[in-house]
């Protein structure tokens, strides 16, 4: 067991900064926020104030196993990012590329059933009720006339 410091640590397919504290370094993984990172460290029995570069291989493996099996860790379901999944009905937590692929599939499903949100996504408009009269414009500005010579 070496206590050698590593500047770059590979976890869940991401290169993370070894100089950061473990919880803050875990937030660089897509799908993990600071509150979930704290819960992961408590379940994996790793001190909060430890730097990521000083983790042993066994501790890094424990973190990876905890993240992969989050549903079996007896965590509150409000920490998960996909509750009541439409296909399975289960509470799951997705990370990395799985999260990106699932979001794309959800948008495609909304487009296929022709929901209002799907329509807004398809036409590149704002989806969540924001105003569009003056903001969210792409391309040439509207309402501004150039002076003629």
pLDDT band at 134 (very low <50, low <70, confident <90, very high): confident
Whether residue 13 is found in the same domain as residue 49? yes
- Would you state the structure tokens that stand for residue 10, as one six-digit string? 């590979």
Whether residue 23 is found in the same domain as residue 53? yes
pLDDT tens readout for residues 74-91: 888 898 988 888 888 888
- Would you state the structure tokens that stand for residue 20, as one six-digit string? 């950061």
Whole-number average pLDDT of the chain: 87
Whether residue 59 is found in the same domain as residue 110? no
CA–CA separation, 92 and 75 (whole Å): 11
Write down the number of H helices and E strands in the chain: 5, 2
Print the domain residue range for 111.
Answer: 95-122
Does residue 3 lie in a domain region? Answer: no
On the question of pLDDT at 2 being above 60, the answer is no
CA–CA separation, 33 and 22 (whole Å): 12
- Would you state the structure tokens that stand for residue 51, as one six-digit string? 């730097």
CA–CA separation, 124 and 147 (whole Å): 31
CA–CA separation, 108 and 101 (whole Å): 11
Tally of domains in the chain: 2
pLDDT tens readout for residues 34-65: 999 999 999 999 998 889 889 888 989 999 99
């Amino acid at each position: 067991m070496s206590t050698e410091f590593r500047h770059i640590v590979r976890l869940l397919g991401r290169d993370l900064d070894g100089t950061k504290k473990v919880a803050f370094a875990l937030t660089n993984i897509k799908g993990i926020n600071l509150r979930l990172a704290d819960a992961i460290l408590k379940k994996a029995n790793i001190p909060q104030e430890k730097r990521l570069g000083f983790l042993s291989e066994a501790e890094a493996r424990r973190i990876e196993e905890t993240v992969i099996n989050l549903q079996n860790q007896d965590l509150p379901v409000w920490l998960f990012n996909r509750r009541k999944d439409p296909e399975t009905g289960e509470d799951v937590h997705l990370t990395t590329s799985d999260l990106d692929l699932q979001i794309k599939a959800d948008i495609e499903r909304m487009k296929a059933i022709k929901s209002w949100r799907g329509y807004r996504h398809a036409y590149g408009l704002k989806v969540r009720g924001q105003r569009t009269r003056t903001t969210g414009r792409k391309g040439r500005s509207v309402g501004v006339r150039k002076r003629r010579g």
